[in-house]
Structure 1
Amino acid sequence: MKLKLYLSNLLYLWAVVTLRSRAINAQCSTSQFACENGGCISQFDVCNGVKNCPDGSDETPLTCISQRQHCLKPYFQCSYGACVIGTAGCNGVKDCADGSDETVLRCGNEDDLREFDRRSQGNCQDDEIKCPSGICLDKSRSLCDGKDDCGDGTGFDESVALCGHLECPGYSFKCGTGGCISGALSCNGQNDCFDGSDEAPLLCNTTKKVTSPTPVVIPLEQLGCSLPLEDERPILKDHYDRVLLPPITSGTVRFSCQPGYILEGLEISHCANRQWSSETVPKCVKYCDSKGEFDGYSTKAICTSAGQNVDCSQRYHPPGTEVKFVCATGFQTRRTTLPDMKCMKGGYWNRQRQRCDQECGQIATPTKSFSANGYTINNTVVPWHVGLYVWHTEKSYSFMCGGSLLTPDLVITAAHCVYDETVRRAYSYDTFRVIAAKFYRNYKNTTSDERWQDVRDIIIAPGYKGRTNNYLNDLALLVLVEPFEFSHVIRPICVHFSEFAEKETINNDVQGKFAGWSIEDKRELQFVPAVSKMNSVCLQNFPDIQSDKFCIFTQGKSLACRGDSGGGFTAVRQSYAFSRDTSRHFLYGIISNAPNADQCAHSLTILTNIQHFNKIITTAIENSINTRS
């Protein structure tokens, strides 16, 4: 009895399998849809948001993209072309097979969107997303354009999650996953959408490509000693320097790589019995080029490879190398930490280095003692003040003027300090040297804090003609060969350009100071307290004063002398552009009048108002930041 029941069940199962097999292999009727796996379903069950074919082939962009034009309101159109109930969008139920009716970017609240952005961004910048491979892509340039910009075959930047909610312009074509391409690219014979939906057979009235099984062919190179894949394969040469082609069956081989690739393994190996004499097969690996990648005065790089610290200054780095950045002294970032860089397989960095923002107008310690001509100080009180020296003889440099640091490689000073009155142009830039943290004026009288840089360019304010025009536009910028490294005694001054009244003149009674070197004893660094007077007040004492000037009043013996020319008048003001320590020192003007050697000006000193030179100063600062920070 049990045997009869067993045979009966077995016969039933055979019948079911046989009938299903015949149904699958049978040709579908005109009212049916042929699934990819050979099954048949009703035409009414195609592109309705539900996968009715076992393989889901009834709900793909290739099948449904052509039906978009027929899916009109009140129905809801899925990204890949299916037509579902009109209330599908954001109803909490995935009515579309691809979930495009319920994506976070379509339906999420502010918290959902914020969390989605955080996860998509990873350790990339705010305007980037992180691909599964680790590289960072610019959202504004690489998302939802039909191309696999991640380059890893995932199409992550073209996914429904990122693109399914988009509405493409009328002149464009919307890919099955949501990306937008030019309408002229659909049905042009090549896939411009990552998912190939722009070349769907039903859309373009073409037939599906049928692929035949590819016969197995053993590559010739497998008949000899093993070799790396094509992109890692070295150049093979014999001892006569002749290029060898696979298969390599015997003999000694020299390995080398194309430019930009590094050989990993021995340069010479012997092939015999399909085995190399070396333990590992030499291969060429594309390394990441660090030229210009880590450079910038606003950050410091720390490089590691396989968990070990490596020299960041080396030109090429193997895949897997990670680079961490910290802000250099005198710089800050609004982030908790700076994003890391990583060398990816294929020899490219997953992102660009992010700069830090420059701090300015800060001092580390207060004044020390009082001296005859002002306050003798240590270098931390005016860390932006520098000395300008000129190579006048064949023996040494001589002091010329003062100046102020605007960035690590940019100094502002007076034009008359670097201008040749006889030929009416700037002296040659290579005759000048700038010294920061200079406590003693004499070039040879040095301290351990001092740092110097040579000048590579001089920018004179337009319209400057020296004495001919009574020092109108007496302002110059010096671009340095190399940037200074900021420290507690070397830091920049802040600048701010007003839009209204102070654009033309500095107000009366701004309490500030300027720095210079004493004319007595060792000529030590000092600063002099001073009060500003607007241009109209200065006219009473200087009838021929130019419109771009203002003056400062100094009390007692604290007078401006020749050594102070080119130095800056600074004052403390509040600036909420900084997240901490909002009281900063700002530059107001550049000392312009230049008394004869070792003479001092009267109690009133004339300065050039930097507010008149917004464009030239801002352009130079931006150029420094954009090219060297």
Structure 2
Amino acid sequence: MFLLLFLFIYVISPITSSVVADRDNKCSGNEFTCRDGACIDLSSLCDGRQNCDDGSDEAVCDGRTSDLNFAWNTVSSRARRQATCQKNQWQCSDGTCIGFDGKCDGVVDCPDGSDETHPLCRSSRCQSNWFRCTYGACVDGSAPCNGIKECADNSDELLPRCRNNTDVVAGQFKCENGEMISSASLCDGVTDCSDGSDETVRACAGNTCYSYLFQCAYGACVDQGSDCNGKQECADGSDESPELCNKSGVDVKPLPPNNNNNNNTPRPSTPQVGNCILPEYPENGQWVAPNERFASPGKSYKQIYLQYSCNIGYQLQGAADVTCIDGQFIQEIPKCVRLCHINRHASIDYYCYSANGVDGRRPCNDYEPQGTIARPQCKVNYYYYYGGDPQPMTCSAGGWSDYPICSPECGRVTPQGDTLIINGQKAKKGELPWHAGIYKKTTTPYMQICGGSIVRPDVILSAAHCFWDDDTGKQPARNYAVGVGKLYRAWNDKGDKNPQKADVKSIEIPETFQGITSSYAQDIAVVKLSLSFTYEPHIAPVCLDFDESFDNREITRKGAKGKVAGWGLIAEDGNPSPTLQVVELPIIPYGDCNVLAPEDFRRYLTYDKICAGYIDKGTAVCHGDSGGGLVLPALERSIERYYLRGVVSTSPRSEDHSCNSRTLSTFTRILSHASFIKRFI
């Protein structure tokens, strides 16, 4: 009996050794590796027929070869595992068999949960329309925030968007205990919140790491090479987990014993010797060998599989997956080519086409590959100065051939609809859609005191003296409100259709403005609102242009006239107009104005003023018109647009201190304060 057992061990030992001793072979656990590298089913071993070309599957049966000798307990346990599960099954750590497609699918199928672990699933490649769980499993793209737990770690339901809020505000992350930390410290592997809430699946779900970083099981990103370096760099220790670092005996290739090494630090497996020499990392990119943890450029293998990726701003040119067998790379080595980044301008929508036109029109991505053609299109309420839409942009050498900008639609009158001025004409709705009424909130109801012009959705240009008291100086912004799209002076007049209103947030006036003391020089104000107006046909901005030659040409043009709107007095001794009035006034050369103006008024003809009006027609601006815009038309590509040239400032009074309708008025010239205005809009 003893002799029979001895013979049994002698014959079987080499067989089982050959089953598992293939340190670097490509055969699966249910296959036997022939000496020439071929793979045959384990059931064909020692069946009396030569299945390996070199006969090694039968040679081991009679002890004619003994290439490798591993411990019997390791061999026998692996042989038992190989015999347990079928080819289309995957074996859990506890020996249970599940369907091969049951691992890393978000559902725990193994009793011990070993089919849904970070070490097993972290290298999974999910389809573009799937959702990737934080630990690496791939689930249906509809999983996020559907109220059903479809990831084993529940990361599909812990995303910030599932809570309809964000934990990061103004660069600060709010810990669950109320502490605030810098968002730069969020999900970096180091616990900064005292309750640890900055390093959890809830905080880091949906986090995406660069390809050259290591992603912890809960989603944090730490340095490349952090895995199994003997130092815990993930808050949950997942970078040093026994399964990840081959310390648990799960699917671990046996290593030769080393009696001089008593620690548990994993060592690289013996490198293959072959003709597949690993290439250098691509410029601006990297590759990984999922099946060879210690692979690096210059090492050689019999066969190897590489996955390529590029840094942000670059894209692979070629296949991402590359395989080499016996020195022959099946696919060409890809390159990382620079992408063109679109610096999106708020005035433009970008639509892209591939160079060959196959893809058709689509919204452009932030990064586009070489050869892409982008067709910029002005957004609603914007226009292109040269007419039509901007010319196409082409991506070449990492840059675009052009970066056009559209201008806000401005200065267009739209008087269709409904049908300050002494002897002015009633304004039609949309005739001067940029006109704004300035109201004082210290009375009930609010009182209209001045006018202004819309230049941005949340910015009005007006006169500084509208917000000034010669005794106390600039008045607080909280005292004022603005109404636009109004034909009627009263703040809440029911005749107005769809007006818009806003409180004043801030008022900017030149530091040297001193009211009457400085003869109303620098009488300009930039009024910022608490909210932005929505542009509509009857609410739109006036054009601004700070080109000196353009401004001078229009102002000095013979017969030039400008329009002004307001709710000022409609007679010299009358009351303010209940409806908006519009008047057209001729521009008077500065020298002529100085001669025609009353002597005691000439001190107000400061360097920054435009003079306009009549001296014999009885048409002028008056109380309540201050701050309103003086606008002049200009043809631009056959389209008439109105440009803001001045702001109503001062005019002489009659002897009884009422309005003088037979004199000239001054307007603060916009061009004289270009730098001041630009600073605040």
Q: TM-score range by the shorter chain?
A: 0.3 to 0.5
- Structure 2-normalised TM-score? 0.41
- Structure 1-normalised TM-score? 0.44
Larger Rg: 2
